[in-house]
Amino acid sequence: MVNRAAICVVASLGAWQAAGCTLVTDSFVTNGFSGDPFPIGVDTRSGAIVVGLREGGADRRAVLDVLSPVTVVDPGRGVAPTINSSDLVLLGERAGSVGMPDLPRASFDAKQVIRVHPCSQEVETCTVGSVTAGTETPFDALIGADVLAGDALRMRLGTDQIFVLADVGGSDRDRTYACDAVFPSPYRGGGTLVIAGTEVAFQGRRVTMQACLGADPDPLITQSARGADVLVVVSTSIGISLLSESAYERYRLARPAAPPLLALAEADVALPSGKIAGRLATIDKLALVARSSRSPLAPCRQFYAHHLMTERDCQAGDRDCPCEGGDVFCPVPGIVEIAPAVGLDFLIVSDDNATLQALRTELRPDQQEVDGILGTSVLRDVEVDIDYPHNRVLARCTSDACDARPAIDDPDDRTQINGCLSAPPFGP
């Protein structure tokens, strides 16, 4: 027997561990090139990436979510869940049009589809967006990582475009010298999904990111004042990002001027599985920090180290050299600094939020505790490549509100990396 409520959570943001099920996938490279090198127009007014999905001769409004473990088609309330394979066509928006996307842009053959009502059985039409902000948008399908994983997904959300690419060429070193911030091996998770009597093993494709909230590289302040270290998981089904209350309190320790939790206004956001309530906070800036096996420091420490190593080696008079063992140079990973003039909106939710708890359960013990979910609003000044075939994420900035800092592996890299930092933002 299938627990329908549990499946609803699984199909939305991956909070499946409470139900004992998880991501359905094959290996990373499973299908041929599904799209083409040209942009696909998407609707992001709700915060979610909304496209069209043609399946079984019917067109549906679909949410594309890189955090969703499965692809879902809503058969309506009260219908028993089923699982089968189907050919899928991704539909994009036509230039200048507003409404149901109907332009065929990418195809995915013989993909697994779960037919289940993804939100509460008490709700006839599932929505994403925010009631508070007036951005709720109905949907009746969800495109997950299991469909996308054979390709690379490029997101250029500042211009409401995505691309389905075969992959992104070049080694990590090549991409670094092309001024990209490279995030190697960001995909985590794994387990078994049992649905409609079928048990399927999966590989994890949760896009996990280390981040530093309120990142400040000032060498004259203490490390605790340089920001708050967090672990977030990327979702493209929400605009506003989610952050746990304890993580927000850590941010306030680094930024004492931030309002206390109870002074924040109440707000909400609709995930594919249903509405979440919290309090609306503004984080002044953040840095997304790649992992480093050569120099495994905390995200805010890496942020400080990158700024220092970009300029010079440590010197005898330095109060705080980030390099260990007496070294004067240490390699630092790629970093993306995001600092819009108006800050970044976060919905602060309780530490025991069901979605965050389920993600923590899934990612243990491989990762530290998940502090939040990174929504699309943070990524509007960044072009992001989710390069599944090469097991990495690439990022480059598209506005002055963002700085991409490529990895520095050797002191000789400084000239190249400083050239990247002085270059204008990337644009289409």
The pTM (predicted TM-score) of the whole model is 0.90
Q: What is the number of structural domains in the chain? A: 2
Kindly state the tokens that stand for 397. Answer: 């900035």
Q: Is 201 within the bounds of a domain?
A: no
Residue 106: C-alpha distances to residues 20, 52, 92, 93, 218 (Å): 32, 11, 9, 13, 46
Read off the pLDDT of residues 92-145 as tens digits, 9 standing for 90 and up. 999 877 778 999 999 999 999 999 999 988 999 999 998 777 889 999 999 999
Read off the pLDDT of residues 294-346 as tens digits, 9 standing for 90 and up. 889 999 999 999 999 999 999 998 989 999 989 999 999 999 999 999 999 99
* Per-residue pLDDT at 197: 76
103 near 17, Cβ under 8 Å?
A: no
Q: Is 50 exceeded by the pLDDT of residue 5?
A: no
Q: Is 89 within the bounds of a domain?
A: yes
* Per-residue pLDDT at 267: 94
pLDDT tier, 195 (very low <50, low <70, confident <90, very high otherwise) = confident
Q: Is the peptide bond before 365 cis (omega within 30 degrees of 0)?
A: yes
Distance CA 202, CA 23 (A): 6
Distance CA 35, CA 105 (A): 6
Chosen domain end from 110, 140, 165: 165
Residues present in the chain in total: 428
Distance CA 170, CA 168 (A): 7
Same domain, 301 and 244: yes
- Among the listed ranges 186-200, 333-347, 380-394, which one has the minimum average pLDDT value? 186-200
Same domain, 395 and 299: yes
* Per-residue pLDDT at 32: 59
Kindly state the tokens that stand for 186. Answer: 């960001």
Same domain, 154 and 283: no
pLDDT tier, 24 (very low <50, low <70, confident <90, very high otherwise) = very low
297 near 304, Cβ under 8 Å?
A: no
Kindly state the tokens that stand for 363. Answer: 């990612």
Same domain, 137 and 44: yes
pLDDT tier, 284 (very low <50, low <70, confident <90, very high otherwise) = very high
13, 248, 385, 426 alpha-carbon torsion, rounded to 10°: 150
The vertex-310 CA angle with 420 and 312, nearest 5°, equals 145
Kindly state the tokens that stand for 238. Answer: 């929400």
Q: Is 403 within the bounds of a domain?
A: yes
Same domain, 220 and 356: yes
Q: Is 60 exceeded by the pLDDT of residue 247?
A: yes
pLDDT over 90, % of the chain: 75
Residue 256: C-alpha distances to residues 78, 105, 224, 248, 337 (Å): 50, 48, 12, 11, 21
* Per-residue pLDDT at 231: 98
Read off the pLDDT of residues 35-84 as tens digits, 9 standing for 90 and up. 888 999 999 999 999 999 999 999 999 999 999 888 999 999 999 888 99
* Per-residue pLDDT at 162: 98
Same domain, 157 and 232: no
